[in-house]
């Protein structure tokens, strides 16, 4: 096990759950138990009031003794902000199935850490327990979690607090003053924050040198789709079933060999200051380079290589998804994507819609879509097309190397013609489901639609 994290804005703000974690740590320390050194331990209370709750209850010191130090507040591990795992495990990440245990609410492929394959959700108290054991390959109900000072086995039941213990602790510390004190100075920020200079203006004053916030080209790129038609398009990605928004959207650390890293270096950012995709989500140049770059993504066009790779069908070379997209864009070739069932499943992620749109993807053909992601694609001007029942890329004989022509029909469907070693013609259902969505698509997306409405 590589990571044990008490994290997120959900469980990490629940007073009873956090006190239970603190009491578990207290009992464990009292028995002489320690956390396994290879497990990265993280404590990210959901708020300053939550940290104050633990301090008032006298529990912070025990969490600290087990290596659970406060690193910040709110979402950390859930969004891939855990940082590097233990070096010895990182070196073997490709040779073994590393795991994490977190008290968050997200555990999709590659989201917690690019080095960690399996991620398990549990309550904060059990995060502490798993950190003591150092593996998820254990039956916590019947196996000891460690040995006490005298060498006697300690069971989970020996360190978990009862409901009465939790209630008694909360009764002594949980009141209105806790939240009032926790909110003191909340909006003042640090001295460095206060010292940031600014210039008053009616519109946002874009800093052209910023690598964190840049003006995205959504309006310039928007294409009116009243007469939607695509000719000679290429498939940027050819995906299977259950591709989640975390496979599509950039999250977590920025890999040193990624297009996003190259961009940051070109703009004078050292590797140590790359930060994460989440911190740079206001820079579309970084985010579009991280789209479809999840280390667990399996793109059938990438020649068996997992991650953000694809075959540039113009050059025949395996290259990054971003570089291939830019080559297609520079040569005037439209792009589509092909996927299986429940494309875009998982949590709603705006960049899962923005990223493909900025890469030049005009349409996404899938067996089915997660409902919110389908809507997000429409709002970014990307046309969602659904294979007819019983059909998919495999049954139709699509390889992803074809050129694609797409034409809208009057019956609510679209005709797709794939030109390859043979010509494959099929219809798809246009998944633009409401009159308002039709207006979004006609404008090229929700942002140009709103702008046109204001004008």
Give the integer Cα–Cα distance in Å for 147 and 79.
34
**pLDDT value, residue 344:** 94
The residue among 199 and 385 whose pLDDT is bigger is 385
C-alpha angle 241-326-207 in degrees, rounded to nearest 5? 110
Q: Which residues contact 433 (CB under 8 A, 6 or more apart)?
A: 374
Give the confidence band of 189 by pLDDT, cuts at 50, 70, 90.
Answer: confident
- Dihedral sign for Cα 231, 236, 240, 246, please: negative
Lowest average pLDDT, out of 189-193, 264-268, 384-388, goes to 189-193
Give the pair of three-digit tokens for residue 346: 């998982």
Mean pLDDT of the chain: 92
100 contacts: CB under 8 Å, gap ≥ 6: 1, 2, 3, 4, 5, 77, 82, 112, 113, 116, 118, 119, 120
* pTM of this structure: 0.85
Is the confidence at residue 31, as pLDDT, over 70?
yes
The dihedral of CA 140, 89, 36, 3: what is its sign?
A: negative
Q: Which of 316, 342, 340 is nearest to 396 (CA)?
A: 340
Q: Are 107 and 119 in contact (CB under 8 A)?
A: yes
Average pLDDT over residues 365-391: 96
- 429 Cβ neighbours under 8 A, 6+ residues apart: 385, 386, 388, 412, 413, 414
Q: To 5 degrees, how large is the angle CA 68–CA 70–CA 74? A: 115
pLDDT digit string, tens, across residues 42-97: 999 989 999 999 999 999 999 999 999 999 887 788 877 888 889 889 888 778 88
**Reported confidence tier of residue 226, pLDDT bands at 50, 70, 90:** low
Q: What pLDDT band is residue 246 in, cutting at 50, 70 and 90?
A: confident
How far from chain centre, in Å, is Cα 302?
22
Percent of the chain with pLDDT over 70: 98
pLDDT higher than 70, residue 103: yes
Which listed CATH number (3.40.50.300, 3.30.110.40, 3.20.19.10, 3.40.1160.10) goes with 218-249+291-454? 3.20.19.10
Q: Give the rounded percent of residues in the chain with a pLDDT score beyond 90.
A: 74
pLDDT exceeds 70 at position 235:
yes
78 Cβ contact list (under 8 Å, min separation 6):
7, 8, 102, 104, 105, 106, 111, 112
DSSP 273: G
User: Is residue 247 over pLDDT 70?
Assistant: yes
Cβ distance 4 to 104 under 8 Å? Answer: no
| Cβ partners under 8 Å of residue 404, min gap 6 | 230, 232, 233, 234, 235, 336, 416, 417, 418, 419
Report yes or no: 371 and 391 within 8 Å, Cβ to Cβ: no
In the structure encoding, which two tokens stand for residue 376, read together?
């997000």
Mean of the pLDDT values across residues 408-432? 96
pLDDT of 32 reads: 96
For the chain, what is the largest distance between any 2 Cα atoms, rounded to a whole number of angstroms?
Answer: 79
> How far is 369 from 389, CA to CA, in rounded Å?
13
Q: Which residues pair with 155 in a beta bridge?
A: none
* Phi, psi angles (nearest 5°) of residue 441: -65, -40
pLDDT of 227 > 80? The answer is no
CB-facing half-sphere around the CA of 235: CA atoms within 13 A = 28
Convert the pLDDT of each residue in 279-327 to its tens digit.
Answer: 899 999 999 999 999 888 999 999 999 989 999 999 999 999 999 999 9
Section 110-122 average pLDDT: 86
Q: What pLDDT is attached to residue 114?
A: 78
Q: Where are the domains of the chain?
A: 3-182, 218-249+291-454
Please enumerate in sequence order all residues whose Cβ is within 8 A of that of 405, keeping only pairs 6 or more positions apart, or say none: 230, 231, 232, 233, 416, 417, 419
Rg of the chain (C-alpha set): 25
The answer for residues whose C-beta is within 8 angstroms of residue 145's C-beta and 6 or more apart is: 33, 129, 132, 133, 138, 154, 155, 156, 159
Flag whether pLDDT at 131 surpasses 60: yes
Q: Which CATH fold would you assign to the domain 3-182?
A: Aconitase; domain 3 (3.30.499)
Say whether pLDDT at 224 is over 70.
Answer: no
């Amino acid at each position: 096990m590589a990571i044990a994290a008490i994290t997120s804005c959900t469980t990490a703000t629940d007073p009873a759950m956090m006190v239970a974690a603190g009491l578990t740590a207290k009992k464990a320390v009292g028995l002489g138990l320690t956390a396994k050194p290879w497990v990265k331990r993280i404590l990210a209370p959901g708020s300053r009031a939550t940290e104050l709750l633990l301090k008032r209850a006298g529990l912070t010191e025990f969490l600290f003794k087990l290596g659970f130090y406060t690193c910040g507040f709110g979402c950390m591990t859930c969004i891939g902000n855990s940082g590097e795992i233990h070096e010895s495990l990182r070196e073997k990440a490709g040779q073994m199935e590393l795991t994490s245990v977190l008290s968050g609410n997200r555990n999709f492929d590659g989201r917690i850490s690019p080095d960690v394959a399996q991620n398990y959700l549990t309550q904060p108290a059990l995060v502490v327990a798993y950190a003591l054991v150092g593996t998820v390959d254990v039956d916590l109900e019947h196996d000891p979690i460690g040995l006490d000072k005298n060498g006697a086995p300690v069971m989970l039941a020996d360190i978990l607090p009862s409901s009465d213990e939790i209630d008694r602790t909360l009764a002594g510390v949980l009141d209105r003053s806790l939240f009032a004190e926790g909110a003191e100075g909340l909006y003042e920020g640090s001295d460095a924050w206060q010292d940031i200079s600014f210039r008053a203006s009616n519109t946002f004053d874009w800093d052209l040198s910023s690598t964190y916030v840049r003006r995205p080209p959504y309006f310039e790129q928007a294409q009116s789709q009243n007469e939607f038609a695509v000719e000679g398009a290429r498939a940027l990605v050819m995906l299977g079933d259950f591709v989640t928004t975390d496979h599509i959207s950039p999250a977590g650390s920025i890999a040193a060999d990624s297009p996003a890293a190259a961009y940051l270096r070109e703009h004078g950012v050292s590797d140590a200051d790359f930060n994460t995709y989440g911190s740079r989500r206001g820079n579309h140049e970084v985010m579009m380079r991280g789209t479809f770059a999840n280390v667990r993504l399996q793109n059938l066009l990438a020649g068996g290589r997992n991650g953000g790779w694809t075959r540039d069908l113009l050059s025949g070379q395996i290259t990054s998804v971003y570089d291939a997209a830019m080559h297609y864009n520079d040569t005037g070739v439209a792009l589509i994507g092909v996927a299986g069932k429940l494309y875009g499943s998982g949590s709603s992620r705006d960049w899962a819609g923005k990223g493909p749109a900025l890469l030049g993807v005009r349409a996404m053909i899938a067996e089915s879509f997660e409902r919110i992601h389908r809507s997000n694609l429409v709002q970014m001007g990307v046309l969602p097309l659904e294979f007819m029942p019983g059909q998919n890329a495999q049954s139709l004989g699509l390889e992803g190397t074809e050129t694609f022509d797409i034409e809208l029909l009057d019956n609510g469907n679209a005709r797709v013609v794939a030109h390859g070693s043979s010509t494959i013609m099929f219809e798809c259902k246009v998944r633009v489901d409401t009159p308002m969505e039709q207006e979004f698509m006609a404008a090229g997306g929700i942002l140009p639609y709103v702008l046109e409405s204001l004008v």
